[in-house]
Structure 1
Amino acid sequence: MKCPHKSHVALVDGERFLFLRNDGQIFEPRLTMLDQPELEKTNFSAGVRNQDDAGQRGGNTDLNELAHGAAAAEWLNAQVLSGDIEQLTVIADPKTLGEMRRHYHKELESRIVGELAKDLSGEPIPAVEKALANA
């Protein structure tokens, strides 16, 4: 996957959000940790869609995780609208990525250069770089 030089990378799951920058080349990323934003989980709008009994009993739906994904998208929206993000790659587990997409602002959508639906938030940075390079 192309990850342009100096572009940003959001590494998200249902609990963590790491914000990185690619200081490497487009096909050989070298990620530098920038921040681990503090997110306020206030958007539980996913709860309306995910209140079915089967999902709750099977443990397939964790509203706190979905709210974290929504909060990450809202934080990214604010960064894009303030001009702090020009290009962005989003890496998130499939459930979180799906929730984040529901909250993308049109301007954020236009700045996303790639998405990787994979749970890499617990992996060391070199493993994330390798996954990006091989995607």
Structure 2
Amino acid sequence: MRLPHKAHLAIVDGASFTLMRNDGSPNSPSLTAIDRPDVEGTNYSAGVRHQDDIGQRKGSTDLNELAHAAAVAEYLNQAVLQGKIDKLAIAADPKTLGEMRRHYHKSLEAVLVAEEAKTLTGEPVARIEKVLLSD
């Protein structure tokens, strides 16, 4: 995923959310942490489709994680609508990314330059920048 200059990168999993900006170029990224927004997962209907019997027995459905993903999507939607983000890439574990996609506003979809279904939370900035250079 190549991240354009001044584009934002949202790094998300079921419990954390970090917003960064690329102050470098697509070929030489230089990420700067912008914020660690504290979003409150209140949309517990987000996980309704995951309420299958097998998921419940195996414990693979975590409504808190899915509600967090929905809350992050809402935060990003608002940031885009307010003009705070004009180019955005999202890196999230597959389950979180899938839930987030269900909540994207059309305006967010319009500024989305890339998605990466990979867990990068907790990784050092140098590792994240390396991922940005891989295609």
Is TM (by shorter chain) over 0.5?
Answer: yes
Separation in 2, partners of 1:28, 1:12? 22
1:121 aligned partner, one-letter code: T
| Gap regions ≥5 residues in structure 2 | none
Runs (4 or more) in structure 1 with deviation over 2 Å come to none
**Structure 1 residue 122: deviation in Å?**
1.7
SS in 2 for 1:9: strand
Deviations along 1:4-28, one digit per CA (max 9) or x if unpaired, are 0011000000000000000111122
- Per the alignment, residue 46 of structure 1 pairs with 46
Match of residue 126 from structure 2: 126
TM-score (norm 1): 0.97
Residue 34 of structure 1 deviates from its aligned partner by: 0.5
Using the alignment, how far apart are the partners of 2:59 and 2:127 within structure 1? 28
One-letter identity of the residue aligned with 1:107: S
Residue identity opposite 2:113 in structure 1: V
Q: Output the amino acid matched with 1:22.
A: N
| Residue number in structure 2 paired with 1:104 | 104
Shift in Å, 1:59: 2.0
Task: Give SS of 1:78's match.
Answer: helix
User: Matched residues in 1 for 2:16 and 2:60: separation?
Assistant: 18
**Aligned sequence identity (%):** 60
CA-based RMSD? 0.9
Please, which runs of 5 or more residues in structure 1 have no aligned partner?
A: none
Which secondary structure does the structure 2 equivalent of 1:90 belong to? strand
Report how far residue 3 of structure 1 moved.
Answer: 0.5
Shift in Å at residue 118 of structure 1?
Answer: 0.2
Match of 2:79 in 1: 79
Q: CA deviation at 1:46?
A: 2.4
Q: Which residue number in structure 2 is paired with residue 91 of structure 1?
A: 91
